[in-house]
Amino acid sequence: MQFIKLTYLCKTIKDQKEMKKRYYSFVVFILFCLAGNAQEMLFDDFYFKMDFFEAKKILKSNKKKLTNLALGKGTVYAVRKRSLVSEENKLISINLWSKKNLTVKEAEKYLVISRKFFENNNYNTVYAQENWSNPILVKKNLPCIRFVDKDKTIVVEFDPRGQGDAYNIFVTYYNYDWFLKKARGEE
């Protein structure tokens, strides 16, 4: 009787080891699959290369939240219908812009506050024009300010546009790798 119990126990231990191997193999497989299909976030619920029609649905269902975004105290930005930029029906970037027209002084204030907001949220300033805080002196063919997040997955650019006493601040979110390929002419 003892021999049978010992044999059964040995089989059980072997079975347990085999089950552990299978379990860990399964976990590794799932993690591998998830890592390969991980979504690269752009902004909020939007991710790089998501289906463009899905992005439109998200925009429509979160309209109230996405039209009152603060990127620093006293700033209000909005995501609008034309904010979503696609290539082959895949989302590649998102543009936010100041919710209302701004005076030159307000635009300057938005730029300063929003830059501080991104730097306080672990984004590194990788480019800034000499007169980045003055919309009148910003060179139109270059971004005003460019940031990269600490994980090097997102690029954010600021661009003030306008004339006279009516300006808007545009904020564009890009996928880091896509942006680099585009900048190098590889995409």
Which residues partner with 79 through β-bridges?
96
Is the pLDDT reported for residue 28 higher than 50?
no
Lowest-confidence segment of 11-20, 50-59, 78-87, 120-129 by average pLDDT: 11-20
Spatial separation of the C-alpha atoms in residues 61 and 56, rounded to whole Å: 9
pLDDT confidence of residue 2: 56
Q: Specify the amino acid at residue 169.
A: I
Quick one: tokens of 57? 């649905």
pTM of full prediction above 0.85: no
CA count, 13 A, side-chain hemisphere, 33: 6
Over residues 97-156, the pLDDT tens digits come to 999 999 999 999 999 999 999 999 999 999 999 999 999 999 988 999 999 999 999 999
Quick one: tokens of 141? 């063919």
Tokens 């930005």 found at: 77
CB distance 27 to 34 below 8 Å:
no
CB distance 163 to 102 below 8 Å:
no
Spatial separation of the C-alpha atoms in residues 125 and 102, rounded to whole Å: 24
- What's 51's DSSP letter? B
